[in-house]
Amino acid sequence: MRHIIIGTGAVGGVIGGLLAGAGSDVVLVARGRQLDALRADGLEVTTPAGSVRMHPAVAAGPPDVDLRPDDVLVLAVKSQDTVAALDAWADRPVAGGGSAAERLAVVCAQNGVANERAALRRFRTVVAMCVWLPATFLEPGRVSAGGTPVPGVLTVGPAAASSVADAALTAYAEDLAGAGFAAPVTGDVMAWKYRKLLSNLANAVEALCGTTRDDGAAELVARADEEGRTVLRAAGIRVLDEAVHDAARAGFHVARLPGQAGGGSSWQSLARGTGSIESDYLNGEIVLLGRLHGVPTPVNAVLQRRARQAAATGAGPGSTVAADVLRESLA
């Protein structure tokens, strides 16, 4: 099995780097300064166990990779870049005949729940991954993951009923486990991803306010979570039971590593000035479902819009006062 990591940022870099370090065949797909650094010096991954530098194959995009029947495409781009990435890879030929969309599995190693639907429109075989991985993009060519005793918990399963053979899922999970991850396989992985979506509603709060811990930010998080749970109930969407969630996270902790960023993925998007952010696919997913099912979602709507505006204007983390968001959502 060869793992083609589409989007070698924080999450993609940690997954791909640790797979390569464990001896798996890996191709890291990147662009810009990250691509240059990977080509020049390889990829350094830091975990609580130390730092390791790997030199797997590197590609700038689909034309650089001759696809094989044993390839797995691991989609690790942000959700706003999913459609472009899928379109770039879906029609690429695979050795022996057929296209990537017809013959290869694509793994959605991403936050949110919209990526799987986009992938299923194009690819026959889609694996959903619930990512619990505290990964940080330190600088081009260097990433870290502070999870302990494992770097991360990567729960995998079919994105749609009977879309992935059990043997293929087991083999993929075994590679992840061999790289040091906890990699449970479950048939209801989307319930896990909807539970993770609720947690990710706080991402915009952390990015905008710089924290989720002061009173105002904590109130925003609580209101966004309450709206999310109400919407998912109204939509009849199953969410992972809290006891199962807590048991799965038991014993998993995050260690502070040198150079680690001050926040999660959305915080890092603003800190790095990437120009885009995932709020349309996190808070925006709750807003969408709320509109479809007649449930008001004012807090998530304001967080979605303000986070998108902050990314577009280059505002850094902590540029927004929580009380202002609360007032706007109550207006």
Q: Give pLDDT tens digits for 316-330.
A: 999 999 999 999 999
Burial 173-201 (b: 16+ CB within 10 A, else e): bebbeebbbbbbbbeebbbbbbbbbbbbb
Burial 100-125 (b: 16+ CB within 10 A, else e): bbebbbbbbbbbbbbbbebbbebbbb
Over pLDDT 90: what percentage of the chain? 90
Range with lowest mean pLDDT among 13-22, 81-90, 253-262: 253-262
Indicate whether 260 pLDDT > 80: no
Indicate whether 278 pLDDT > 70: yes
Residue 149: cis peptide before it, omega within 30 degrees of 0: yes
Which is it for the CA torsion 293, 294, 298, 299, positive or negative? negative
The pLDDT of residue 261: 61
DSSP code at position 100: H
| Residue linked to tokens 């001896």 | 23
Indicate whether 156 pLDDT > 70: yes
Q: Who contacts 273 (Cβ-Cβ below 8 Å, separation ≥6)?
A: 314, 316
Tell me how far apart the alpha carbons of residues 11 and 44 are, in angstroms, rounded to a whole number.
Answer: 13
Amino acid at 213: R
At 170, give phi and psi (nearest 5°): -60, -45
Range with lowest mean pLDDT among 104-113, 164-173, 293-302: 164-173
What are the beta bridge partners of residue 144? 46, 136
At 315, the pLDDT band (50, 70, 90 cuts) reads: very high
Over pLDDT 70: what percentage of the chain? 98
Q: What DSSP element (H or E) covers 58?
A: strand 57-59
User: What tokens appear for 66 in the block?
Assistant: 């001759």
Tell me how far apart the alpha carbons of residues 108 and 163 are, in angstroms, rounded to a whole number.
Answer: 14
- Chain-wide mean pLDDT for the chain? 95
At 250, the pLDDT band (50, 70, 90 cuts) reads: confident
DSSP 270-313: HHHT-S--GGGGTHHHHHHHHHHHT---HHHHHHHHHHHHHHHH
pTM: 0.95
The pLDDT of residue 47: 95
Contact 17, 143 (CB under 8 A): yes
The pLDDT of residue 162: 67
The pLDDT of residue 165: 77
